[in-house]
Structure 1
Amino acid sequence: MNTKILVTGATGHFGKLTIDFLLNKGVEANHISALVRDESKAADLAAKGVNLKKGDYDNYDSLLAAFQGIDKLVLVSGTDLANRSKQQLNAVNAAKEAGVKHIIYTSFERKNETETSPIAFLAQSHIDTDNAIKASGINYTILKNNLYLDVLPMFLGEQVLESGIYFPAGDVQAAYVSRIDLAEATANILISDGHENKEYATNNIENYSMKDIAESLSEISGKEINYLNPNSDEYAETLKGAGVPAEYIGMFVGFAEAIKQGEFQTNSSDLEKLLGRKPASLNDYLKQVYSK
């Protein structure tokens, strides 16, 4: 395989996992490039023979230089929510100018694309990027990733095994999915054909509620873990009293409300097909994190 692949956000969890899967699946390290802002944070990738390309979403010229000669670009969504739309449009435009042939983008599962969405602060940049990629004329694969199983410990809090789950998500389910599985699916797309101009529903094959999570944790820990479903205002006040920064409170409340509104509940999933196996379940993930 002579395809030249570049992965952005390569020192983050998703980017690094995707590169590791590519290497494990036999892609030669010198065919993989990693976009990094700080090369000192990518010494492990350099040691594996991966090419380091210095670039920043805010610096168009750095992206244009990094994308030269690249066939497939994995555009991992950035973490700077305030500037993400502009940054990712830079990346799409630079990819077009550099002649990139295929963009794989980590987007997200959603039903409500209007500003009434409780997570509009996060959603809009994804929607803008999806639209820009489709308008660019470059072949694309858009991954509509569901909420990561990996965010659950953040929602549940550090004391969940002592004090139970306190989160205003109602009894509505979501198809939480393992970040590791999503990264492997991305690697599989990169090394196979037939993914051009497709949008994939990268959800788990089962949906889970907070009550399901409480039951699973009870079984794993041998303690009775209860789920308390406060209203959003009460929850926000409790977090404020615990010294949680306002921006985190806004994010947690927004995600809880989006879960409650059914944004992440779905019976459609392409993930098993992309992985060639069943994805990790809620119980698999919780056992890994919470087993003694």
Structure 2
Amino acid sequence: MILITGATGHIGSAVLEQLLRKLPASQLAALVRDEAKATHLKAQGVDIRGGDYRDPASLEQAMQGISKVLLVSGGGDEDGLQQHCNVVDAAKKAGVGCIGYTSRALREPATLVNQLMERHFQTEDYIRASGLPYLLFRNILYMDTLPQFVGPQVFEKGIQLPAGQGRVAFALRRDQGEAIANVLADDSCQNRILTFTGAATYSFADVAQALTELSGRPVEYTPVEEPEFMARLRTQGLPEVAVERITGFLTDIKNGQESTVTAELADWLGRPPTPLKEGVKEIFKL
């Protein structure tokens, strides 16, 4: 049986949706904190298991009878790494035969500005040290996050970010979730690292051009310096930790951290991943 954690979240849902196409629901389980949010999965025959990354006992109970588990990375909590370790520990105690993890495709982890991302590679190290057979899914930045970066007034004000001419091999979340599911359903779990990216890289100037062409409204990308951008975020009332993380994320893009391109996503999809313009049309409903 395959257990998906974070099963009602974005990537967890995408993985389960594809697994339900490939495997009987009786072979699938979902770890959720709030079982009321998983009624749609239960109705499809998925085994719903309550559990919390902070509660080792609940995790150990949820792992019973599981042969393979996908650990979907948590959020930005200060104890996020410990939460991940709790899941790995529970899987090992329960005798799970394979653990997958949704990590990140970043070019040089040692030089990251956004230090929150380091947690992914610390989790990878912990998984390796556990001795469990593993599948590490290094995912590129989800194209679906573009609205968060460009803001709700993108058609009025354009795009102003400290990302320079940095390029990103954006891929849709559902494409990456589908590929992860295909690996979980078919792979033998022999300590593999899979790097899932789009087939090409794009700058925010390319994003602006796609928005312009699709909407018929001119959208321009203007690179700005980090201090100006941080000051703008502060005037919006964001806490300093959020200001630093958002700016660090964009600085990493500027520095080429998100520019890796591989064919592995296409290979596991059996088709090319969704290109930028097609994805932007879908995301922005244009």
Same fold (TM over 0.5): yes
How do 1:116-265 and structure 2 match up within 5 A? Answer: 116-120=111-115, 122-265=116-259
Given the alignment of the two structures, is residue 66 of structure 1 paired with residue 59 of structure 2, yes or no? no
Deviation at 1:49, TM superposition (A): 1.3
Closer/same/farther in 2, CA of residues 14 and 291 from structure 1, 3 Å limit? closer
- Does the 8 Å contact 2:141/2:258 carry over to 1? yes
Which of 41, 44, 56 is the equivalent residue of 1:45?
41
Deviations 1:70-113 (A, max 9, x none): 01101100114311110111111111110100111100012333
Given the alignment of the two structures, is residue 104 of structure 1 paired with residue 100 of structure 2, yes or no? yes
Deviations 1:48-85 (A, max 9, x none): 11111111111111111110110110110011431111
SS of the counterpart of 2:186? coil
Deviations 1:26-68 (A, max 9, x none): x111211110111111111111111111111111111111101
The CA RMSD measured in Å over matched residues stands at 1.4
CA distance in 2, matches of 1:50, 1:80: 28
Give the match for residue 16 of structure 1.
13
Give the unaligned 5+ runs of structure 2.
none
- Does the 8 Å contact 2:194/2:264 carry over to 1? yes
TM-score, structure 2 normalization: 0.96
Deviations 1:150-199 (A, max 9, x none): 11110000000111101110011111111101110111011113442110
CA distance in 2, matches of 1:291, 1:170: 27
- Does the 8 Å contact 1:220/1:291 carry over to 2? no
SS of the counterpart of 2:109? coil
- Does the 8 Å contact 1:221/1:290 carry over to 2? no
CA distance in 2, matches of 1:95, 1:289: 36
CA distance in 1, matches of 2:261, 2:271: 17
Deviation at 1:247, TM superposition (A): 3.7
Given the alignment of the two structures, is residue 279 of structure 1 paired with residue 276 of structure 2, yes or no? no
Give the match for residue 5 of structure 1.
2
CA distance in 1, matches of 2:38, 2:188: 31
SS of the counterpart of 1:46? helix
CA distance in 2, matches of 1:36, 1:80: 18
Deviations 1:182-240 (A, max 9, x none): 11011101111344211011111110001111111110111221111110110111222
SS of the counterpart of 1:6? strand
Letter in 2 for 1:117: L
Deviation at 1:245, TM superposition (A): 4.2
SS of the counterpart of 1:10? coil
CA distance in 2, matches of 1:248, 1:35: 28
CA distance in 2, matches of 1:195, 1:281: 29
Letter in 1 for 2:74: G
TM-score, structure 1 normalization: 0.94
SS of the counterpart of 1:107? strand
**Sequence identity percentage:** 40
Q: How many residues align?
A: 286
SS of the counterpart of 1:191? helix
SS of the counterpart of 2:112? coil
Give the match for residue 89 of structure 1.
85
SS of the counterpart of 2:8? coil
Deviation at 1:246, TM superposition (A): 3.5
CA distance in 2, matches of 1:270, 1:195: 16
Give the unaligned 5+ runs of structure 1.
none
- Does the 8 Å contact 2:107/2:260 carry over to 1? no
After TM superposition, the runs of 4+ consecutive aligned structure 1 residues lying more than 6 A away are none
